[in-house]
Amino acid sequence: MLPVTATLIWILVALVAIGLYLSWTAGRLDRLHARIDATRAGLDAQLLRRASVAQELATSGVLDPAASIVLYEAAHAARQAEEEQREVAESELSQALRAVFAEPAQVEAVHEVPGGESAAHELTEAVRRVPMARRFHNDAVGAARRLRQHRKVRWFRLAGHAPFPMAFEMDDEPPAALVDRAA
């Protein structure tokens, strides 16, 4: 009778240990999903700020008319894009920014206009923060994806009904002339 009791106790201890480990893993996965939500909110805020500053600069009269139209349309499309088209619209805004600020002379012209110095500085800060915010978000997504690929997570369905995290892939290279001028 004694060996049967000892075996049952060891089985119970093993089940409790496995349960604690699975609970800890589920909690870790939940924290990663919360981190993804927070980093996505930060990324959205930086993208919105960049589009708003670009749109404001385009309507300020500081740029020439052709550059204003290109920049305004790209910024407006980025702000109005549906979630499925957001990455493409944001990439197009990055391309428009690089096209408008391809030459250092354009950046100098913006700086010489009254109010242009602060507008250019604000845009420079906005385009610098987008790649960092995107990197933070994609790092969090990568960590959650790696954990969700473990067998224990799949077998015990520790992710629950949370959607599989998706990285935000876009062209976020800032205009060299704008960033070089500020450095």
Rounded CA-CA distance 157/44 in Å is 29
Residue range 71-116, pLDDT digits in tens: 999 999 999 999 999 999 999 999 999 999 998 888 888 888 888 8
| DSSP annotation of 175 | P
Q: What is the pTM of this model?
A: 0.90
CA distance 46 to 48: 5
Confidence of residue 183 (pLDDT cuts 50, 70, 90): low
Three-state secondary structure call for residue 28: helix
38-63: pLDDT as tens digits: 999 999 999 999 999 999 999 988 88
For residue 1, what pLDDT band results from cuts at 50, 70 and 90?
low
